[in-house]
Amino acid sequence: MTKTLVIQPVSRIEGHAKVTIQLDEAGNVQDTRVNVIELRGFEKFCVGRPVEEMPRIVTRICGVCPWSHHLASSKACDAVFGVEPPPTGRKLRELCNSVAYMEEHILHFFILAGADFVMGPDADPATRNIIGIIGKYPDVATRVVKVRHMCAKMLEVLAGKAIHPDASVPGGFSKPLLAPERDQLRKMADECLELAKFAIDFAKKNIFPQYLDVVKSLGVIETGFLGTVKDDGALDLYDGKLRLMSKDGTFADFPYDKYTDYISEHIEPWSYLKFPYDKRAGKFSMELDSPNGIYRTNTLARINVCDFIDTPLAQAELEEFRNNFGRPAQLTLLYHWARLIELLYNAENAIRLLDDPKITNFETRRKVEPRAAHGIGCVEAPRGTLIHDYTTDANGILTDVNLIVGTTHNNAPINMSVKQAAKAVIKDGRYDQGILNRVEMAIRAYDPCLSCATHKFDGTLAVRIDIYNHDGRLIDSMAN
């Protein structure tokens, strides 16, 4: 008898997903699928709206990633209106980005993913969560919650509000930073840096050495990588050129508004998520034994594609990481390690920006006029390269919207890592809570945000109805 295992909902990720694992008669994994059971559809219903409303509308795509959409959208609007924000407007946007990153990376490492390592993959699900961590390391948990709250506070000072922001506007940033506010933020940024230093030391002592065998075996696939770098090859999370690296480490650099020359989107009838792939490969395949065109984004990708990091502490960590795992590093669970290097970079970068005397200049935005245009904006969201692509008519009304979201790039890799993990841990029909949790761990490494990623909608619903007779034989199947 064949059997289907269902993990639903996948826990400790952003959004709703289920995993189905099909076992063969011997109880080994035949196939797996990651189903995302929600639809946001912003690409469709934003058409017909004035483009300048987009930076405010897109923050509603997701309560976790509003800043990334807010900034990518503002940049797409800059391009549509043909303006470049003044240096201070740009710096304020970048500062908000770094603070939002810290909040996100702290959330993911300690609150969503950390329990698998701190409590252990096989721990009782009742304690394999933030409550368990609070019990085991109360001081760490208190500090984590405090600094996360502080990041939200910093965003409030910078932009008026932390969630669903509206301060970034076409042409710049609407709220100049006052000197007393800067001084207040500077103290908070020091505390963020101390936590970032603590987090990577803690993980290098208490987590990674203990789980090296899991890191080396779970969710392992080999792919290319996509991320953003400055002209000199340094890591950049707000602006720069895109770098698409092949799995052998060779790469191509291109401006982000040329993304369609390099990236295509494959569509599967069973998913609201598209499957972007490297167009140069010709054909898309996410078969484990013959993948084609697959690349990954998010922390590990950015740490792989950059030549260096231009802040000293993060650069020292990058060197140690590369000495251990090479470039490009492929092991999926290393996403966590790369995330902590980025946490450190963002703390250093926030301090650098706050120490820049220009940050309190009053010229933060330029005036814009509607026109018929096509504009593309791109930032590195915590969860991967985020592209907003808008077309407007002469009145500035949107006629076309395409979003390529960080998690969407990782759709095929997540499906592949889940299949690899399931095949590795489920053998001869034997599985338990801990084993199924290992399959979820392969997903969690990617820190997916599924609310953000589900925009494919062509008028048909990704629904299939299977009809089975009384003895379990499939007798009919209907799909649109």
Give the Cα separation of 431 and 421 in Å (integer). 13
Query: What are all long-range contacts of 457-462, with beta carbons under 8 Å and residues at least 24 apart?
Result: 457/39, 457/41, 457/43, 457/44, 457/272, 462/269, 462/270, 462/271, 462/272
Total H helices, total E strands in the chain? 16, 16
Candidate segments 53-61, 76-84, 288-296, 401-409, binder of Mg ion by CB under 5 A: 401-409
| Residue 216: strand, helix, or coil | helix
Query: Of the listed pieces 9-17, 137-145, 339-347, 399-407, which binds Mg ion according to CB under 5 A?
Result: 399-407
**Per-residue interface string for the shown chain with Mg ion, residues 347-386, x marking contact by CB under 5 A:** ----------------------------------------
Question: What's the chain's Rg over C-alpha atoms?
Answer: 22
Q: Is 403 in the site for Ni ion (CB under 5 A)?
A: no
Give the ranges where 207-326 is alpha helix by DSSP (H).
Answer: 212-217, 299-305, 312-325
Q: 219: left (phi > 0), else alpha (psi -120 to 50), else beta?
A: left
Residue 151 binding result from Mg ion, Ni ion, none, given CB thresholds of 5 to 8 Å by partner type: none
Give the footprint of Ni ion on residues 236-255 (CB under 5 A). none
Q: CB under 5 A: which stretch of 179-187, 229-237, 245-253, 397-405 binds Mg ion?
A: 397-405
For the bound state, the minimum distance from the C-beta of residue 70 to Ni ion, rounded and expressed in Å, comes to 12
Least gap, CB of 455 to Mg ion (angstroms): 5
65 interacts with, out of Ni ion, Mg ion, none, CB within 5 to 8 A per kind = Ni ion
Are 463 and 37 contacting, i.e. CB atoms less than 8 angstroms apart?
A: no
Q: In angstroms, what is the minimal distance from the CB of 403 to Mg ion?
A: 5
Stretch that binds Mg ion, among 78-86, 110-118, 396-404, 467-475 (CB under 5 A): 396-404
- 432-461: contacts with Ni ion (CB under 5 A): 449, 452
Distance CA 288, CA 286 (A): 6
Which of Mg ion, Ni ion, none does residue 449 bind to, with CB < 5 to 8 Å depending on kind?
Ni ion
Q: CA-CA distance, 369 to 354, in Å (whole number)?
A: 31
Contact in structure between 408 and 65 (CB atoms under 8 Å): no
Number of residues near Mg ion (by CB under 5 A): 2
The string of DSSP letters for 155-178 reads HHHHHS-SSS---EETTEESSPPP
CB-wise, 14 or 317, nearer to Ni ion?
14
What is the distance between the alpha carbons of residues 57 and 73, in angstroms, rounded to a whole number? 9
In the complex with Ni ion, the residue whose CB is nearer, 96 or 422, is 96
Nearer to Ni ion, 414 or 449 (CB): 449
User: In this complex, which beta carbon is closest to Mg ion, that of residue 42 or of residue 251?
Assistant: 42
Alpha carbon distance 107, 92 (integer Å): 23
**Could you tell which of Ni ion, Mg ion, none binds residue 402, using a CB distance below 5 to 8 A set by kind?**
Mg ion
Among 65, 318, 359, 445, contact with Ni ion (rule: CB under 5 A): 65
> Least distance (Å) from Mg ion to the CB of residue 171?
25
Q: Give the shortest CB-298-to-Ni ion separation in angstroms.
A: 12
Distances (CA, A) of 425 to 42, 61, 437, 441: 38, 35, 10, 12
The C-alpha torsion from 196 through 198 and 204 to 208, rounded to 10°, is: -70
62 binds Ni ion (CB under 5 A): yes
Q: Which does 79 bind (CB under 5 to 8 A by kind): Mg ion, Ni ion, none?
A: none
89 CB-side CA count, 13 A: 21
| Nearest residue to Mg ion on Cβ basis | 402
Which entry of Ni ion, Mg ion, none binds 425, CB below 5 to 8 A by partner kind? none
Question: What is the DSSP secondary structure assignment for residue 364, as one 8-state letter?
Answer: -
Cα(394)–Cα(216) distance, rounded to whole angstroms?
Answer: 54
Q: Per CB under 5 A, does 260 bind Mg ion? A: no
- Specify the residue, 66 or 328, whose C-beta has the smaller distance to Ni ion: 66
Between 6 and 267, whose beta carbon lies closer to Mg ion? 267
Q: CB 372 → Mg ion: shortest distance, Å?
A: 22
Kindly state whether residue 402 participates in binding Mg ion, applying the rule CB under 5 A.
yes
Q: What are phi and psi of 454, to 5 degrees?
A: -105, 90
Whichever of 88 and 408 has its CB closer to Ni ion, that residue is 408
Show the tokens assigned to 354. 């706050």
Q: Which is nearer to Mg ion, 147 or 401 (CB)?
A: 401
**Whole-angstrom distance, CA of residue 93 vs CA of residue 381:** 13
Least gap, CB of 23 to Ni ion (angstroms): 32
Check residue 71 for interaction with Ni ion (CB under 5 A): no
Grouping H, G, I as helix, E, B as strand and the rest as coil, residue 74 is: helix
How many residues belong to the site for Ni ion (CB under 5 A)? 5
Which of 21, 54, 64, 96 binds Ni ion (CB under 5 A)? It is 64
CB of 406 to Mg ion, least distance (A): 12
Binding residues for Mg ion, per CB under 5 A? 402-403
- Contact positions toward Ni ion, by CB under 5 A? 62, 64-65, 449, 452
